[in-house]
Structure 1
Amino acid sequence: MTDPRASYGTPAHPASPRTPTAVDAVAERYAERLAALSPEFALYSGLPGRLGALDDYSPAGFSALADLRAQTLAALDTAAPVDDVDRVTIAAMRERFGVEDELHEAGEDLRALNNIASPIQTIRDTFDNHPMATAGDWESFASALRAVPGALAGHRESLRVAAARGLTPAARQVRACIKQAQDQAGKASSSFTALIEGARLADGGALPAALTTDLRAAAREARAAYAEAAHWLATDISPLATGDDAVDRERYERFSREFLGTRIDLDETYEWGRERLAAIDAEQQDIAASLYGPGTTVAEALERLGADASRQVRGTEALRAWMQETSDAAISALDGTQFDIPAPLRALECRIAPSSTGGIYYTAPSDDFSRPGRMWWSVPAGTEDFATWQERTTVFHEGAPGHHLQIGMQTLLRDELNSWRRHGCWVSGHGEGWALYAERLMADLGFQEDPADRMGMLDSQRLRAARVVLDIGVHLRKERPAELAALPGVGEGHWDAGSAWAFLRANAAMGESFLRFELDRYLGWPGQAPSYAVGQRLWEEARDASLAAARAAGADDSLKAFHARALRLGSVGLDVMREALAA
């Protein structure tokens, strides 16, 4: 059969719907079986699945996923590619399944426990996307709430098996998860309470009284399960936890490939991050001087901007309205100029999340677009003031031209991409790299002409560059560079949590509670945070190479043409993307 590693390119835009191939059939079968194994994947993607159920987080559940990958790879061996779409599918599936199998063999799925992307959070967050339009939807919602105890029990079993293999979590992450579980257990603080209190039907009608009673009883069961999870994390897992936040180079390299879909030179990337950080600092110094006069430091400028009431909105409803207005304006301005935005993607719904973690995130539209793409802001309790100069770039990151155009476009390409390509493949370095690329693109296109807005964009870019240095520095136990050692109270030595905190505070203009959460995230999710800036770097390199190749071939070398080619690939590993765009 044709070697899937052979050169392939971005397929030409088809004049008519593409005829599904044998490779597509393998990918479709995988997506169908994955939706059966993972109700949460089915719910998120809008594919048929067991509505009202949750995933199996036990060792048996992870083994079933590994078996499915093995069976799918065997089927790919007999499916000959017929075009570039097939060749990208084969390369992407082999790359993704390969790193997922390595992680599974190393027990990383069993030991998953951190403050942002482990079962403690994913079980909770899946309810945000549950349909809530009909009485039947709410009945399924209650069923899913009653599945929470079993899902958490499976997670507990996996953690125990991992611990028996010597794969113990970091104490910092255990503490964070205990606190989150306790919050979810409390009636007033639980997102389950926020979701079901005041529940209505799509037409505004009230739920039947019996259903309301059932929902409240199911929510009590789910909250009780989180209370139990907090207890067994404290009694069973915490005593086994390690005080070491760092992982070794071998584990870090594996995580890095998971989040990037490529191998990078970690030491070169670390030094690049330091250089990138210095360049951003110089640009911010120039803006500080232009805003408030020569001699104004970046920290002083950020403090004055943060105190400027004219650059803030107050209250969550005002925040939501500002997000929506900013998003709508960006889509209107970009459509037809830098992108051709199909009608279903011209709608992005901005919402305040029922949780209060501080995160800002995007959720994809359902397969049929009955649920639109959504940007969510999880506002910490007590937070009332929001700096528009700092967050305008966030709207571009999560919305258009960031995640909304990227994820929404691949969801829309039903006639070209199979279900796995549209819903089942997500590579952080590709997706987050694109979103960070989008932030800088909007500045370059003139959407950040206000120096304060540009300072906000650079503040975002600075944080992402700092995370490259911090993440690699801590987890590879590097010597502290001069700029870190010179910070008050740090000094020479190896990177650790204390020096990382000093470094983060020196390079991010955000509140302490947010930064504490962020630091715990970097320490507990190795390799993910650097994937943003590293992904942006590789996106910009791929763009420059693609435009140069287009010019040499006499083809359309406009940014708009590049964006169309790139977004039609969907989310793939960065090696696969570069190969496809360069061909």
Structure 2
Amino acid sequence: MTETPSDIPSATPTAAQPVGGSVRRPTPVDAVAERYVESLADLSPEFAVSVGLPGRRGELDGYSPEALDALTDLDRRTLAELEQVAPVDAIDRVTLAAMRERLGVSIEAAEAGEALRRLDNIDSPIQNLRDLFDNLPTATEADWADFAACLRDVPRALEEYADSLRLAASRGDVAARRQVETCIGQSRTQAAESSSSYTALIDAATTADGTPLPESLQEDLRAASAQARVAYGRIADFLGEQIAPLAGEVDGVGRERYARFSREFLGAVVDLDETYEWGRERLAAIDAEQREIAARLYGAGVSVREAMDRLNADPARTIHGTAALQAWMQRTADDAIAALDGTHFDIPAPLRTLECRIAPSATGGIYYTGPSDDFTRPGRMWWSVPEGTDTFAAWQERTTVFHEGVPGHHLQVGMQTYVRDELNAWRRLACWVSGHGEGWALYAEQLMADLGFQDDPGDRMGVLDSQRLRAARVVLDIGVHLGKRRPPELAELPGVGDGVWDADSAWAFLRHNVAMTESFLRFELDRYLGFPGQAPSYAVGQRLWEATRDEALGRGESLKDFHMRALRLGSVGLDVMREALAD
């Protein structure tokens, strides 16, 4: 992986070359935001590494109740500091609104005990203490020594995490049994030498120029990896012995918690009942268009699922092997960058590099990691291929490359990292709102279809398949967690039936609506049930993005100008974004 130097300049607005014109003078509001980021990097070595800031290398974050309290105390102190400063310009006004909204939501969640009880199949310490190693610097022997130190720190981090789960359990806050059992399985996988991502990472250990590591360092890495794997075996035992007996069977979290999660992931307040009805309508519209494309591709009477099966069987639309998959991802991403730059976007030079990689884990996810602050580590798109999977459907996944790459996450995250002359470090590096980010990525998928990049009927079916998944999970997620009755147009589906949403009906509903393999789909269902409000933030975020764009175009703004003005805001809550772009 690319080296991240330890002497990166401080992430202040004056520390980089201007994007255009003169460098903006930092303000008192910026000073508060910068102090917050410096304090966060001190409290969280993982954050410092992830964004390429100076910090304590070779250490992991604190996961104890005390460490979580320290983060909340930082949020409270910062909010108090913000009350003492006045905005100087429009950028300050957005910073104030965005920080008050984000830190306020974070404090509210912490006070409700959400930070202590985190346990799910995709975004809890069980996964994060595995996946963060994918992006640790590994260019030099010193980097690998830090890597080994982090591996040796995994036992301490997991022990502290167990302390937090114990405290939450003593208050009656325990994840649903489904999530506990899934995390036990993931921990067992990570504990086994043959299946652990730690093993895969250190087996490939070399410096950036391919030089083998000294035997002493290799031995240190092997010993540290073994310690980390043992720690995962212990956390699996802990979950099974102390948490699982307390876990309940109900997956839904209820309206009050769900509303809080929705605000956290959207940065906006939406009417959950209206959004549920919108999801139903959107799903029906997508189904109708897919039926029309199926008939156009293969003739009248061919169902959507039959059409997809034929697309999957089409050799011209199939990729064989992970090497070919990586090459196809890279080619598709590079072509999109070349086509969009100068037309619908102005793409800065550092953002014209996007690395596409196969992830060392095998969870089935596809994700993006942003560049380091100085772009020595570029943005990367990762595909975590499940074991035994060696064929991939290009018709289905082309839209995913646009989602994760350009004009999706890579352009969005990279741009907010790039505009150092305008935005403080918090705006560029520390603020991420799912509805803004994932909503933009879905907006990007639809934009590429609107611009003619997905005109092939098979590719269009892939776009709609992606949109159908996102619309379906709006209905499922809100339905399950708010305890809604299943709507009549779905009750007739096999296995769904009438009654209140639950995991079984959700599974039947997903199998009818989503063209994924069963392993992918099982992972996705567990995700929706254990990570409330996050999955709907994609489609709802896209909806709010498109509404904001339409308002801008209605005022006479060009599409390109809207894109660049919006991206230069960075990731903020969608209510803050809409107000800022209307100003």
**TM-score normalised over the length of structure 2:** 0.96
Aligned residue identity for 1:567: L
1:133 is matched with which residue: 136, 139, 144?
139
Q: Deviations over 1:551-570 (max 9, x none)?
A: 2xxxxx21111101100000
1:216 is matched with which residue: 208, 222, 244?
222
1:323 is matched with which residue: 303, 306, 329?
329
Aligned residue identity for 1:103: A
In 1, the alpha carbon distance for the partners of 2:331 and 2:135 equals: 23
Report the secondary structure of 1:250's partner residue: helix
Report the secondary structure of 1:294's partner residue: coil
Q: CA deviation at 1:14?
A: 6.0
Indicate yes or no: 2:116 matched with 1:116: no
Q: Which residue of structure 2 lines up, in the alignment, with residue 573 of structure 1?
A: 573
Q: Deviations over 1:233-277 (max 9, x none)?
A: 100110011111001100000000000001110000000000000
Segments of structure 1 that go 5 or more residues without pairing to the other structure are 1-12, 552-556
Contact 1:364 1:408 (C-alpha < 8 Å) held by counterparts:
yes
Indicate yes or no: 2:511 matched with 1:485: no
Runs of 4+, deviation exceeding 2 Å? none
Q: CA deviation at 1:293?
A: 1.0
* 1:171-190 to 2 correspondences below 5 Å: 171-190=177-196
Q: Which residue of structure 2 lines up, in the alignment, with residue 582 of structure 1?
A: 582
Indicate yes or no: 2:107 matched with 1:101: yes
* 1:52-451 to 2 correspondences below 5 Å: 52-451=58-457
Aligned residue identity for 1:220: A
Q: Which residue of structure 2 lines up, in the alignment, with residue 559 of structure 1?
A: 559
In 2, the alpha carbon distance for the partners of 1:185 and 1:469 equals: 36
Q: CA deviation at 1:296?
A: 1.5
Report the secondary structure of 1:116's partner residue: coil
Equivalent pairs counted in the alignment come to 566
**TM-score normalised over the length of structure 1:** 0.96
1:475 is matched with which residue: 458, 481, 486?
481
Q: CA deviation at 1:306?
A: 1.3
Contact 1:356 1:381 (C-alpha < 8 Å) held by counterparts:
yes
Contact 1:484 1:499 (C-alpha < 8 Å) held by counterparts:
no
Contact 1:351 1:377 (C-alpha < 8 Å) held by counterparts:
yes
Contact 2:496 2:506 (C-alpha < 8 Å) held by counterparts:
no
Aligned residue identity for 2:99: M
Q: CA deviation at 1:346?
A: 0.3
Q: CA deviation at 1:198?
A: 2.6
Aligned residue identity for 2:367: Y
Q: Deviations over 1:70-117 (max 9, x none)?
A: 111111111211001111001000000111111000000000000000
Q: Deviations over 1:475-527 (max 9, x none)?
A: 01101111221011332110000000011111100100100000000000000
In 2, the alpha carbon distance for the partners of 1:43 and 1:426 equals: 16
Let me know the Cα RMSD of the aligned residues: 1.0
In 2, the alpha carbon distance for the partners of 1:269 and 1:403 equals: 24
Segments of structure 2 that go 5 or more residues without pairing to the other structure are 1-18
In 2, the alpha carbon distance for the partners of 1:496 and 1:249 equals: 15
In 2, the alpha carbon distance for the partners of 1:294 and 1:283 equals: 14
Indicate yes or no: 2:66 matched with 1:45: no
In 2, the alpha carbon distance for the partners of 1:24 and 1:263 equals: 27
Q: Which residue of structure 1 lines up, in the alignment, with residue 515 of structure 2?
A: 509
Percent identity, aligned pairs only? 70
In 2, the alpha carbon distance for the partners of 1:43 and 1:137 equals: 11
